[in-house]
Amino acid sequence: MRFSWKVLALGLAIAGPAEAGIDFDTMPKGCSWTTRYFDGQVLTETYLGRKGGTHRTEVRAGKDLVRKMSYDAEGRMVRKDWANGTWESFSPYSCFAEAGKCTYRYRNADGADVKVASKTVAKGKGFRVEAGPVGGQPYPDEYFERGSFGLMTKNKGEGYSARLIGMQNCDTGS
């Protein structure tokens, strides 16, 4: 996997939670959400449950595993493990879509080690994100909206977009 700032920005924005993160505490195990991307790709993420202090999900394209995701106790992304054996980590967690200003460390299997600064502010029904590597060129601004469980329902930026198109097994019975 070759390191690309645009791929990093897209991946963080689409997968990243907002504010307090994904609400896994009220999400039932087995809940799945499906997202359609600008290029026609459709991915489904499924909540597998909690292991230790980490919430785990897996992302599939049809039956094919794409990646496994790890989130901290507050539902903030901390790691991606890709089906091809590569990985990405976010320390202490990805705050790309967290309201306010923050920084985190991004590392990956290809040797990238970048400190990322992010600023997220409310805009209309959602949030506008300005982010980029500290001391480097900023990523294109992004916009996203959130829905049930704090999941991203809409995301758009320069040259791409994504939209949540369905949820299954997510009824909490209340």
Go through the domains of the chain in sequence order and give each one's CATH number: 5-166 (2.40.360)
In one letter, which amino acid is 169? N
Residue 88 has pLDDT above 90, yes or no: yes
What are the angstrom distances between the C-alpha of 143 and each of 58, 73, 120, 168? Answer: 24, 25, 9, 25
Average pLDDT over residues 120-134: 92
Residue entry with tokens 């209309």: 124
Confidence class for position 154, pLDDT limits 50, 70, 90: very high
pLDDT(32) > 80: yes
What share of the chain in percent tops pLDDT 90?
Answer: 80
d(Cα 112, Cα 107) in Å, to the nearest integer? 5
Phi-psi region for residue 33, left (φ > 0), alpha (ψ -120 to 50) or beta? beta
Is the confidence at residue 13, as pLDDT, over 70? Answer: no
Question: Could you check whether the bond before residue 92 is cis, i.e. omega within 30 degrees of 0?
Answer: yes
Of the pLDDT bands very low, low, confident and very high (cuts 50, 70, 90), residue 173 is low
Q: Which one has a higher pLDDT value, 5 or 96?
A: 96
pLDDT tens, residue by residue, 58-77 = 999 999 999 999 999 999 99
pLDDT over 70, % of the chain:
86
pLDDT at 45 > cutoff 80: yes
Kindly tell me if the per-residue pLDDT of 23 is higher than 50: yes
Tokens 């645009």 correspond to 6
Backbone dihedral angles phi then psi of residue 150, each to the nearest 5 degrees:
80, 15
Q: How far apart are CA 21 and CA 31, in angstroms?
A: 16
